[in-house]
Structure 1
């Protein structure tokens, strides 16, 4: 039997943390016989269920969810590895006659899926370790300042406390002699031309979004986030691992160690979450300008949801016709 030649549909739902995108993905999956595929870089870790607000068991019983909790906190999930897994899940969904619904707030993951990855050479382990050691020694703000001296374009795009991306930018320029911005400016060669992406961005008004961020952290504490972080800390993992720096984890760890009291830890975690949500809003506005934008609270009625569903299905048909 020959492979299908028509482009196959994929629905991509992006948005900031606490925006309601996961709930929308679930509702659409139930309506469209879909599979919800995770595109959140922290929800891939098995050890972080509560702190990352992964879908509940009740949610997962209503529709198939994949790529949630698939790797231990002791590993590093890269965009390249996630993309490989996501493309496999998309193919599996199509083979089963289901609609793949990719949902998450990690812009790098979504961009890598839809546009492909830059052809950056593999970084030697020694160079990567040296970059991590430097960040641990001088701290992220100082590393950001050093990066600005040799790669001002990339430094201008990165937050001074975004240790993971700072380390990545530093190791790339040290290993290749070219900035990561230069590498990323080259057209990717592996865009999935057999797929047709329809994109949505859930974008609540900022005051409501920030209030939802604050409420979510309090709910995490009620659900047992302290116990989850305590179990994570008990593993004695490298603090530079991505899972150890997930939103809320360092603040709860400080609370457990007595470095911060409960109120101070809560306020700090809430502020960092709001800051992150703001950066996500900016990313989606700049990087996915053509996406359909909506406020999930406007879909509370069945009538409004039905209209959105019809609009999405019509958009998918048009996108496939354009590609075909």
Structure 2
């Protein structure tokens, strides 16, 4: 089988358009690896590609999950395993694209075997997070999981909450489960990964412009529709970039200008964290700093063709 192509990069870096172009050139199908683009309720806010952008290329795992669902990395991994197999059986190339680095890490290195956390414990930790914030969570986590508490500091309330609820549910620190990983879906030699690393200043400008475009395309309507369902604000879909600020505006708590400014700022910060993730978790993936589509295509086509040729030789 042809090695799968994995494309990772910060938000608004042009991953989707590149994946579609590669699929057309190499005869592939695109599989989503973005945790927000799985939600059918977030077409605009997640920048999910529409039929025109897909340009006749088969797409999988886009917009198939309801916003009320707590869709997990494990859920995605099982669905991705199935879709990769289907694409391979057609004799085509699987092209996985998205900004959720944890998905791609689990796909190629295996998923840690953390057992499910009961809903009552999740609710308890959510209440603590609301009352005490990230600092309070860290203070509670430090005596029982000092390694994770020190690594996270007070800058990531969501991950602190996750670590604390795992400890409450299992009595074990998070690192314990990182040492017990399920086998990867794709083994060495079955995939090649690329990381898009465009110039940050240019990317941040694109992020701002894209959010302004989302507002014109109906992002506010999506936010209001989700608000009308009275969903738990801690659901992943309700934390999509821009969503908390759009809903705050819809409730009359802030101005439209402030909502847009804060949403852009948060998305730029997220992009910065994605750059950091690439550097730490994917140090050996080829980097493609050029923002130009043709340059990106040439790099990927050249490296992929080389690997594909070697793989064919192994079976000759």
User: Normalized against structure 1, the TM-score is what?
Assistant: 0.90
Show CA shifts across 1:245-294 (max 9, x none): 11000111111122111111111111111111000100011111111111
The separation in 2 between residues aligned to 1:278 and 1:105, in whole angstroms, is 12
2:88 counterpart residue number: 94
The separation in 1 between residues aligned to 2:106 and 2:49, in whole angstroms, is 23
The separation in 2 between residues aligned to 1:319 and 1:144, in whole angstroms, is 48
How far residue 145 of structure 1 moved from its aligned partner, in angstroms, is 3.8
Show CA shifts across 1:228-249 (max 9, x none): 1111111110111111111000
2:181 counterpart residue number: 188
The separation in 2 between residues aligned to 1:321 and 1:201, in whole angstroms, is 27
The structure-2 alpha-carbon separation of the partners of 1:319 and 1:258, relative to structure 1 and needing over 3 Å to count, comes to farther
Q: Which of 263, 278, 281 pairs up with 1:287?
A: 281
User: CA RMSD of the aligned region, Å?
Assistant: 2.3
The separation in 2 between residues aligned to 1:322 and 1:173, in whole angstroms, is 46
1:153 counterpart residue number: 147
Q: Is the 8 A contact 1:196 1:319 kept in 2?
A: no
2:169 matched to 1:166? no
The separation in 2 between residues aligned to 1:101 and 1:20, in whole angstroms, is 14
1:57 counterpart residue number: 51
Structure 1, gaps ≥5 residues long: 1-6
2:293 counterpart residue number: 299
Tell me the SS of whatever aligns to 1:150: coil
Say how many residue pairs are matched: 315
What pairs up with 1:211-226 in 2 under 5 angstroms? 211-226=205-220
2:305 counterpart residue number: 313
Q: Which moved further from structure 2: 188-197 or 34-43? A: 188-197
The separation in 2 between residues aligned to 1:115 and 1:313, in whole angstroms, is 24
The structure-2 alpha-carbon separation of the partners of 1:91 and 1:152, relative to structure 1 and needing over 3 Å to count, comes to same
The structure-2 alpha-carbon separation of the partners of 1:175 and 1:55, relative to structure 1 and needing over 3 Å to count, comes to same
The separation in 2 between residues aligned to 1:321 and 1:151, in whole angstroms, is 49
What pairs up with 1:66-145 in 2 under 5 angstroms? 66-145=60-139
The separation in 1 between residues aligned to 2:78 and 2:53, in whole angstroms, is 25
The structure-2 alpha-carbon separation of the partners of 1:202 and 1:246, relative to structure 1 and needing over 3 Å to count, comes to same
How far residue 321 of structure 1 moved from its aligned partner, in angstroms, is 6.6
What pairs up with 1:31-46 in 2 under 5 angstroms? 31-46=25-40
1:251 counterpart residue number: 245
How far residue 133 of structure 1 moved from its aligned partner, in angstroms, is 2.7
How far residue 56 of structure 1 moved from its aligned partner, in angstroms, is 1.9
How far residue 47 of structure 1 moved from its aligned partner, in angstroms, is 0.3
Q: Is the 8 A contact 1:24 1:296 kept in 2?
A: no
Q: Which moved further from structure 2: 12-21 or 166-175? A: 166-175
Q: Is the 8 A contact 1:14 1:105 kept in 2?
A: yes
The structure-2 alpha-carbon separation of the partners of 1:239 and 1:190, relative to structure 1 and needing over 3 Å to count, comes to same
Tell me the SS of whatever aligns to 1:47: helix
How far residue 104 of structure 1 moved from its aligned partner, in angstroms, is 0.8
